[in-house]
């Protein structure tokens, strides 16, 4: 059966640590005119390079890869325009919720077909989350629990003084590299602080973190605020 025509092709980058898997999936997707594979990557560092080079709309991330959740969080924290679809996810509440909390926009279960993957890509492109009623109910329960926890006090109260300082620098438009230079710390340390901030505030983007605690920052930070760069 011929694939239906789409007015806007979805560009994807495939990330996984098994080359045969990456190349095979790329070949299959290349047969469908709704999707364009702009590249593959074998790990996080390579993925970050390819994202900067090819600017995909969606990253297909193999969740069987070691530290895949960390990779998802890092990609979303540093690449503001990309969305992630998780591949080979066990369709149980715990695993799907973990993916959702990492910021993925959609997932394909281990038993999913190629057509399931295409449908998920199209759903993500429309801003929809495709899942079973059981998973939807689990996600709603998780959201309700988080809402109750957040109502107990301001989230920024859990940030350290150093983390609040870094949020202030993010709010002034500084990149991770600029923050590291300003504070005299290693770039990796600055990135680690940013990741901890995102975790504590339950957000996925640097700009969201800055906006969430902006009212608690010193006035001088607000006066000098510039657009936040995601990276």
Domain residue spans in the chain? 10-129, 155-223
Domain 10-129 in CATH 3.40.50.2300:
yes
Fold of 155-223: Arc Repressor Mutant, subunit A (1.10.10)
Do residues 46 and 39 make contact, with C-beta atoms less than 8 angstroms apart?
no
Give the pLDDT of residue 44.
Answer: 92
Give the pLDDT of residue 159.
Answer: 83
Q: What is the pTM of this model?
A: 0.64
Intervals of the chain under pLDDT 50:
1-6, 217-226
169: phi then psi, degrees, rounded to nearest 5: -70, -35
Q: Which of 44, 57, 40, 16 is nearest to 195 (CA)?
A: 44
Distance of CA 73 to the CA centre of its chain: 5
């Amino acid at each position: 059966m011929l694939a239906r025509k789409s007015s806007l092709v979805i560009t994807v980058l495939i990330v996984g640590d098994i080359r045969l898997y990456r190349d095979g999936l790329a070949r299959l997707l290349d047969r469908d005119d709704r999707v364009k594979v702009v590249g593959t990557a074998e790990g996080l560092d390579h993925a970050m390079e390819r994202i900067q080079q090819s600017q995909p709309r969606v990253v297909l991330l193999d969740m069987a890869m070691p530290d895949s959740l960390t990779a998802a969080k890092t990609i979303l924290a540093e690449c503001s325009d990309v969305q992630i679809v998780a591949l080979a996810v066990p369709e149980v509440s715990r695993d799907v919720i973990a993916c959702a909390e990492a910021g993925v926009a959609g997932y394909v279960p281990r038993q999913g077909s190629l057509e399931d993957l295409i449908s998920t890509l199209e759903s993500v492109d429309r801003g929809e989350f495709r899942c079973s009623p059981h998973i939807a109910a689990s996600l709603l329960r998780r959201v309700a629990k988080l809402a109750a926890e957040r109502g107990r006090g301001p989230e920024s109260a859990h940030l350290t003084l150093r983390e609040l300082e870094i949020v202030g620098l993010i709010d002034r438009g500084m990149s991770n590299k600029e923050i590291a230079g300003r504070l005299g710390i290693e770039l990796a340390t600055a990135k680690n602080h940013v990741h901890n901030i995102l975790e504590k505030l339950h957000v996925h983007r640097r700009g969201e973190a800055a906006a969430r605690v902006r009212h608690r920052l010193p006035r001088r930070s607000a006066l000098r605020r510039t657009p936040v760069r995601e990276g």
